[in-house]
Chain A
């Protein structure tokens, strides 16, 4: 498997840990970079100049929570999908929000999968572990 880096944008430390545990339990040993707020995540992904060139050519999988302290997850999704260098990077929305309209909005903006975090832990574990399936379809973008 290529060196796909997982970018996890999640403000709840507990959730982040549970996601990480289940990702590892699924046998995925890729690097996970965690961010607890939207601004620092965008700073990292888009680079200091905000152009997104910093992430060009990198194989990334973005796990995004919608309820962040500093900005709406939807706004992050919109900016990623508008960026020429990041628009093909798979984004998985992993959030507690299960409002239909919110789900639709995310798909409209180009998210690849929308997963609701179930309170029931076995379902939670199953949902996160299935992320592993993604790695087989991720295409590493060509270096510019």
Chain B
């Protein structure tokens, strides 16, 4: 009886306008309390609590609230983000268009030249050639080149944004402390969840929609490893640079970045691989390429199409990994020679 009285008071305070329903619900609650044994303790979920006291919102009100909150900030956010991210759409669309429009043999030759330039290894160049020839022969050339184009554009933008951010984080402990939980969030958020707010924000036909999702997911390792690499630069060497009166800019570009380069390169490798992983997921929001074929395989139960496209992705992954690892190895070698 005391308990009942106490609870009634509380509910009245919160919900003083709805006398009739409160007394009704209180009776229910009171009954439940009386009959309760330890085993049947109700879950303290919003829905259960709402039954007892309508002042408490239901779970669907909660999700609706989140949605409403998002929709409320959507329009002002879109005004800022839309023009800001428009170049991303242009970059992706432009690259996609260019790589598909240019004859296949020029593209393959160009990729081989690029691979040779960064990796300086005949074996890696031959690997690039054979993988592309294989994909061409099984008629997956266009999808593969689309996937590669998206990965390269998004990877490049990630590196372009991620390295300065990583450098800034290594400079300011405070920035690092604020950024780390955010980076953890980006890394642990299930990849599908990325897409949800973006679908609301932009139209599904815009390529920046998946571009942002890919960059958001892939940018984390390059930021982290740039920060780490610069923080791990030998303190003695930095002290020597200071002792000879080296200005901050020279120290950054002449000492810190070169010495952190192996770690930064490892970050770039990770970023590109993660971009490739995300581009498959992004096919859900109309990203073209091999991911689209995989999706087709799932949705239409076309086993062969899905598996072959999957194989294509694996081959692309091997190719990108080998090229960037060979580049990394070359940089390390120059340094330790």
Query: Is the A/B pair a real complex?
Result: no
